[in-house]
Amino acid sequence: MNAMLNAALNQIKETSLLLSEDYSDKKTFKKVIEKILVPQKIIKGKISITGKSGKKKTFKAYRIQHNDARGPFKGGIRFHANISEDEVRALSTLMSLKCAVAGIPYGGAKGGVVVDPSKLSKEELKNLSVAYAKFVTPYIGPWRDVPAPDVNTDGRVMSFMLEAYEKKIGQMAPATFTGKPVELGGSLGRTEATGRGGAYVLQSYVKLKKLNIKTSSVAIQGFGNVGYYFAKFVSKLGFKIVAISDSSSGIYSSKGLNIQALSEFKDKGGAFKDFPIEKGMKLISNEELLGLSVTVLVPAALENAITKDNVENVSADVVFEMANGPTTTEADNYLYEKGVDVIPDILSNSGGVTVSYFEWVQNLGGYYWTEEKVNDELKKTITKAFADIDKIKKDKRISYRRAANYLSLKRIIDAMILRGRV
């Protein structure tokens, strides 16, 4: 069992200890937890394509469906050389929790192909996408399992998969995949949704704590899609972003950074280590960024960014997770004991799956929302999720992460009991 799966299962086991006092029928409760620890279905096999050389290429493929008590399975498909069954299982489990905490009617799933897509031609990438869609066709559908893009997949890949799926079943079914291009039924606002949703959560947190936005400083590790849009939106809200980084370097300025200028530089293929430094700015390492004395530290790049080895350097008032799993359990416990709030990824980066849900709703209804409506609905949904978690945090006197896990697991447990699955 790999570390990611072990952590996901431990998360459920630890949370169940908190939840058990809410259920009088301990026997039923125990059975429910045992079921939640195991995926409902593991789909695995091999898919093949003909390479550009004419030779057959074969790849391992997975789709793991964790739990659908609250609605159809939902989760991305990733193309990556280091995918394993344990990793996909862990990610499908975490998707069940994320959908539940966001309050959207989905269960969790995840899929993947063991491949380095950078070594594929455009035609091979298309053929692999088609082969995978055919592989999972018997197990997916608008009311069964709704895949989406993930690592190394995008709207174009979803387009290939949708076409292959619809040909296989003999009818149109755009609600089977989300993260599609707008031209094929994708939702307006989806590209920015994760970053925008995070900004709404941070705005709610600051309002709750009665902090002054204009005097609140922010440091962001990571400037990919999530980091960029999060930076853009929190900057518009009035926060001062004093540091930001990519994989090459970080840039710091106590006066605040111009996010638009940094974005334009990155769009031209530049690395921050080569950014033209102006007066009052300086280059810093990613490790130095994590140790800055700021109001809000935002790990928005890699998992396990804050660990037991560097957590003592963290000087921020709050850690706001925009990456998946950026804080290890040991580091999280240390920060809680120090009185540092950690806003967990399960909530703060759930804007993407929330707008994927809106895309599904629009596809099913055959009616498309304006971008303004998408953003308004996102704000309502994600700020309510934060309020629900904050209430549990206060009532139970636990951390935001434990409160988020408590809420999500309780919703899954209740759905399973109501359905009579135990």
pLDDT tens track for 305-364? 999 999 999 999 999 999 988 999 999 999 999 999 999 999 999 999 999 999 999 999
How far CA 122 is from CA of 119, 158, 295, in Å, comes to: 10, 14, 44
What integer is the mean pLDDT of 5-25? 93
At 241, give phi and psi (nearest 5°). Answer: -90, 110
Q: Both 74 and 159 in a single domain?
A: yes
Residue 225, annotated as binding a ligand: yes
What integer is the mean pLDDT of 199-215? 94
In this structure, are strands 296-299 and 73-80 parallel, antiparallel, or unpaired?
unpaired
Distance in angstroms (rounded) separating the CA atoms of residues 402 and 393: 8
- Average pLDDT for the chain: 95
Of 125, 159, 184, the position where a domain reaches its end is 184
Residue 356, annotated as binding a ligand: yes
Amino acid of residue 394? K
Task: Using the structure block, give the residue that is written with the tokens 């704000």.
Answer: 379
The whole-number pLDDT of residue 278 equals 87
CB 199 within 8 A of CB 230: yes
In this structure, are strands 41-50 and 56-67 parallel, antiparallel, or unpaired?
antiparallel
Q: Both 300 and 210 in a single domain?
A: yes
Q: Both 201 and 73 in a single domain?
A: no
Distance in angstroms (rounded) separating the CA atoms of residues 360 and 146: 8
The whole-number pLDDT of residue 60 equals 98
Q: Both 203 and 307 in a single domain?
A: yes
Percent helix, strand, coil in the chain, to 5, is 50, 20, 30
Q: Is residue 389 part of a domain?
A: no
Q: Is residue 22 part of a domain?
A: no
Q: Both 179 and 318 in a single domain?
A: no
CB 88 within 8 A of CB 45: no
The whole-number pLDDT of residue 244 equals 97
The whole-number pLDDT of residue 75 equals 96
Q: Both 208 and 342 in a single domain?
A: yes
pLDDT tens per residue across span 66-92: 999 999 999 999 999 999 999 999 999
Instruction: Fill in the DSSP letter of residue 30.
Output: H
Q: Both 170 and 210 in a single domain?
A: no
Amino acid of residue 14? E
Angle of the 26-36 helix axis to the 400-419 helix axis, nearest 10? 100
The whole-number pLDDT of residue 270 equals 87
Asked whether the predicted pLDDT for residue 1 surpasses 90, the reply is no
Asked whether the predicted pLDDT for residue 2 surpasses 90, the reply is no
Q: 322 lies in which domain range?
A: 193-348
Strand, coil or helix: 112: strand
* Residues linked to residue 327 through DSSP beta bridges, in sequence order: 306
Say which CATH number the domain at 130 has: 3.40.50.10860
Q: Full-prediction pTM beyond 0.85?
A: yes
Marked catalytic residue, from 55, 60, 110, 282: 110
Asked whether the predicted pLDDT for residue 98 surpasses 90, the reply is yes
Percent of the chain with pLDDT over 70: 100
The verdict on whether 30 is a catalytic residue reads no
Distance in angstroms (rounded) separating the CA atoms of residues 237 and 117: 38
Token digits of residue 284: 């810093």
Asked whether the predicted pLDDT for residue 4 surpasses 90, the reply is no
Q: Both 338 and 265 in a single domain?
A: yes
Asked whether the predicted pLDDT for residue 3 surpasses 90, the reply is no
The whole-number pLDDT of residue 219 equals 98
pLDDT tens per residue across span 124-159: 999 999 999 999 999 999 999 999 999 899 999 999
Distance in angstroms (rounded) separating the CA atoms of residues 161 and 163: 5
- The number of distinct structural domains making up the chain is 2
Of 348, 367, 388, the position where a domain reaches its end is 348
The whole-number pLDDT of residue 53 equals 80
Q: Both 276 and 333 in a single domain?
A: yes
CB 297 within 8 A of CB 341: no
Residue 20, annotated as binding a ligand: no
Say which CATH number the domain at 260 has: 3.40.50.720
The whole-number pLDDT of residue 52 equals 81
The whole-number pLDDT of residue 45 equals 98
Residue 255, annotated as binding a ligand: no
Q: Both 209 and 114 in a single domain?
A: no
Residue 324, annotated as binding a ligand: no
The helix/strand count (H/E) of the chain reads as 14, 12
Q: Both 199 and 169 in a single domain?
A: no
What integer is the mean pLDDT of 389-395? 96
Q: Both 151 and 227 in a single domain?
A: no
Token digits of residue 346: 């399960």
Q: Is residue 364 part of a domain?
A: no
The whole-number pLDDT of residue 54 equals 85
Band (404; pLDDT cuts 50, 70, 90): very high
CB 189 within 8 A of CB 342: no
Element (H, E) at 169: helix 155-169
